[in-house]
Structure 1
Amino acid sequence: MKIQFRGQNFEIPELMRNNISEKIMALKHLFVEKVNIYITLIKFQKNLKLEIVISTQNSLRLKEEIIENNLESALNILITRIEKQFKKSQYVTS
């Protein structure tokens, strides 16, 4: 699992990167193959836009995004959405 970060309008602090990585690792059990995860954070005046793109070698590509003022809640919502998408696409290991 390879995670890449990109910050727009600000530099993502290392502590924030580590916290996000820990949360994303909770999805590890869903993947059968190697995946690349691209995380983009865009800072607005009061809100953050969090975008997560997951791509696999078998051309599966999932993208979820949310605009929130709380990064923690945004991350939890997106992880739940991604889990639901995987269950629908039957890319889970049983």
Structure 2
Amino acid sequence: MKTTILLAAVTMAMTAGSAMARPAGPVNYGQSVYCATREAGNPHSRLCDYMAWSGWRRRGGWDASLDNACLMNPRFVPNECNGRL
């Protein structure tokens, strides 16, 4: 009897642990390279315009407009990247 209860408890604990390891939301595999590698708050891509990207980081600026664009359209590509990626 005690062994059965112990096995049931262990089984439930293992099942709950594997369920908690899964991502909470849907995984988006359709992101553009820019959206997948963007740095939060930086409107430039290091892959498209490295100088503008590093200058923005150095100044410590924050512009969430392109972050919002990637949230609305995961396949978004900024104008500076057209033809490069």
TM-score normalised to the size of structure 1?
0.25
Q: Which has the higher contact order (CA 8 A, sep 6+)?
A: 2
